[in-house]
Structure 1
Amino acid sequence: MAAKDAGRAFIGSFTSEGGRGIVTAAVDRETGALTVLAATDAVADPSFLALARGGAVLYAVSETADGAAAAFAVAGGRAELLGVPVPVRGSAPTHLALVGRHLLTANYGSGSITVLPVRPDGRLGEAVSVLPHKGAGPDPERRRGPHAHQVVTDPSGRWVLGVDLGTDSVHVFVLDTASGVPRPHGVTALRPGTGPRHMAFHPDGCHAYVLCEFEPTLTACRWDAQAGLLEPLGETPVLPEGTEVTGHPSEVVVSQDGRFLWAAVRGSDSIAVLALDGVGSVDEPVLVTTVDCGGHWPRDLALDPSGRRLYAANERSGDVTWFAIDERTGIPRRAGSIEAPAASCVVFA
């Protein structure tokens, strides 16, 4: 397939661990195979990425002690720095989300959410708001205070949710669409010690799933978009009973048709496959099986736009591996991989 007919993927990585920064790859639309086109290390440790609607601008966090976010113009096979990186006024940002004309970052080190304006040309302005999370967890080493790990919008677009690993909670903010500044609305407490890391919504808009890092579990929740209320329903393990290896789950993805859920688990280097219908349900997911992630320490999972292929960014083995998904069972089958040192995330244009 000619490169001009291919899709595009962008791979974030840790430059401090030997990564190339942001890697641009062509995506074969028939096979899902990736081909590296270019890379830029214009910012340090661009560990998580987000594309603007239309795909003309790519945004990245710089997961450093000082913390910054950066915009990149996307043209052909390259991502070019657009303006200068902007401080987030928080430490170690790990995640970001576009909300209208604003970019929000989750700052792990400082336990806060930062709001940056997005200018008409895609450049970032100085922070207009920093919202601190509050609280602590039971672990005195990693849980002395809040550690915001992810920020997402709900399917209705009315709410912003911040997943906090340090306080075992999910913060809910109501979104001011004019200013882009979220206002604290409520906090949902999860079981102490679980360490919630990332969450994903079901296509029905009424359910969400929170993946926990300190215990290899998934918490199913009911989501009320009218009230902005997240209600935990129950927990499901993402490792088979009797697994001896300690698992550290990292990312959760729900299929486009809402029938399956996949979770990346570091330590066991596996991808958990959970059923949301049939043997399971949206309220009570069931672990069907686990498959090898194709590398070591899977930090991220992503579906391609077709929803037929799943990609794992394996940080410590330095690769991105892709899988074809069985439409009937939801079980991924390894189809290929490329070298990608210190890979941390994958997004698709």
Structure 2
Amino acid sequence: MIRIRSLAFVPAVCFPLVASLASAETVDVWFGTTTPRRGESRGIYHSSFDTETGKLTRPTLAAQCDGPGFLELHPDGKTLYATGKPGSADGPRDAVSAFRVSGDAGTRELEFIAAAGTGDGGAAHVSTDHAGKVLLSAQYGGGSTSLYRLAADGSIGALAEVKEHADLLPKVGSGVVEGRQNASHAHWTGTSPDDRFAFVPDLGMDRVVIWKLDADKPSLTHHGFGVCPPGGGPRHMKFGTDGSKIYVLNELALSITVFDYDTEKGEMTPVQTIPTLSDEIKAKENFNSASEIRVHPSGRFVYAANRGHDSISVFQVDDTGKLEAVEVESIRGGWPRNFNIDPSGKWLIAAGRDSNTATVFAIDAETGELTFTRQTQSVPTPICVLFAK
């Protein structure tokens, strides 16, 4: 039986929370935000989080930046990357930026290094390979994947390539959902555990574009597709912890497609599609769309966020890697564009864009179920939650 806890949002009181900065369990949390004109956000925000108590400190502005919607850390933790760039920075408007990370755990600071143009409009997502050799970005409006060389110190080198998804098929948009799938819309980037392949879910194509990655050159060569259900609208994806499964979140259909992944061949084979919300729940909302997917560090649970219903769906992973629904939990906020799980696997922080909130949930180690801890902090229009590695 699926447990559903869907509560009307009531603005929460933000209690002062003091985490011990000397504690070994203190980690940094970075919040990417949207920065609309006349909005409150000024860029990237920072908090510290105590993984023992689950206490999140009040976020403060870490770096001014226009449109830092998604963030990524270099594998060595010394450089943070963001979509967008500071308004005062030189270069093209549509860019990705690098910031130097300094200081001790819990009190880290950011210093802007430089920005690089995407070559094809604003970036929706940014990521590095596991070795920290390259940076990738997905351009939603441009329908493309961009590849950048990274210097040894983590700074962004030259833009190496821009790959247009429209060049991959005679008709690139699936056309199933009118107005959303008439063209290519690249939405996320990431690499396989061995860094041999890069993956870009494309909402407009109903496919995950698979690139063969040469991180030394660097270059991308089209390798194939992971095919999602028609009208699904793939948005984000994550590998299972053993690398044998891929979980793709379909934004438009509010579902997850599970793929078997052939490590040697770099091929995706669909084995299951499961809804994140029931038809009955969706019928009661004016609008719903899926936004983010995460795999628990144990590999035993998968989580997906639902905008409109403003909830997180919890799934258990069975012995074959397929999913079974456990519960649907309200985020106690509005429009969960993003959420993340802390390194200990004990806590989940959900970002409510429209409620300007970050809410903390405890994760049950046996069932994966979420329990609201009554810890809420104010963050202006948060749309990305990133824990320090």
Q: Is this a same-fold pair by TM over 0.5?
A: yes
User: Identity percentage over the alignment?
Assistant: 33
Closer, same or farther: CA 97–59 of 1 in aligned 2, 3 Å? same
Question: What amino acid maps onto 1:70 in structure 2?
Answer: S
**Equivalent runs, 1:1-349 vs 2, <5 Å:** 1-5=19-23, 6-16=26-36, 17-36=39-58, 38-62=60-84, 66-76=93-103, 77-99=107-129, 100-134=132-166, 135-138=172-175, 139-243=177-281, 244-245=284-285, 246-277=287-318, 281-283=320-322, 285-335=323-373, 336-349=375-388
- What is the deviation of 1:66? 4.4
Structure 1 residues 115, 348: CA separation in 2 closer, same or farther (over 3 Å shift)? same
Distance 1:18 1:90, change over 3 A: farther
Q: Which region of structure 1 is more displaced relative to structure 2, 253-262 or 239-248?
A: 239-248
Q: Normalization by structure 1: what TM-score? A: 0.94
Distance (whole Å) between structure 1 residues aligned to residue 243 and residue 336 of structure 2: 27
Query: In 2, distance between residues paired with 1:36 and 1:330?
Result: 27
Structure 1 segments, 4+ long, off by >4 Å, are 63-66
The SS at the match of 1:125 is strand
**How far apart are 1:241 and its partner, in Å?**
4.3
Report the secondary structure of 1:3's partner residue.
coil
Change over 3 Å in CA distance of 1:79–1:148 after alignment to 2: farther
Cα distance change, pair 241–286 in 1 and its aligned pair in 2 (3 A) = farther
Is this contact kept in 1: 2:71–2:80, CA < 8 A? yes
Q: Which residue of 1 aligns with 2:4?
A: none
Deviates more, 1:64-73 or 1:152-161: 64-73
Q: Secondary structure, in 3 states, of the residue corresponding to 1:93?
A: coil
> Letter of the aligned partner of 1:12 in structure 2?
G
- The answer to whether the 8 Å contact 1:115/1:127 transfers is yes
Distance 1:113 1:48 in 2: 15
For the aligned residue pairs, the C-alpha RMSD in angstroms reads: 1.9
Structure 1: gaps spanning 5 or more residues: none
* Cα contact 2:355–2:381 (8 A) shared by 1: yes
Contact 1:269–1:293 at 8 Å: present in 2 too? yes
Superposed CA deviations along residues 269-320 of structure 1, whole A, max 9, x for unmatched, are: 0100111127xx513x121210101211001121111111111111111111
Letter in 2 for 1:118: L
Could you say if the C-alpha distance between residues 126 and 79 of structure 1 is closer, same or farther in structure 2, counting changes exceeding 3 Å? farther
Contact 1:215 1:247 (C-alpha < 8 Å) held by counterparts: no
Q: Secondary structure at the match of 1:71?
A: strand
Contact 1:37 1:78 in 2 (8 A): no
TM-score under structure 2 length normalisation: 0.85
User: In terms of Rg, which structure is larger?
Assistant: 2
State how many pairs are aligned.
346
* Structure ranking higher on relative contact order (CA contacts 8 Å, 6+ apart): 2
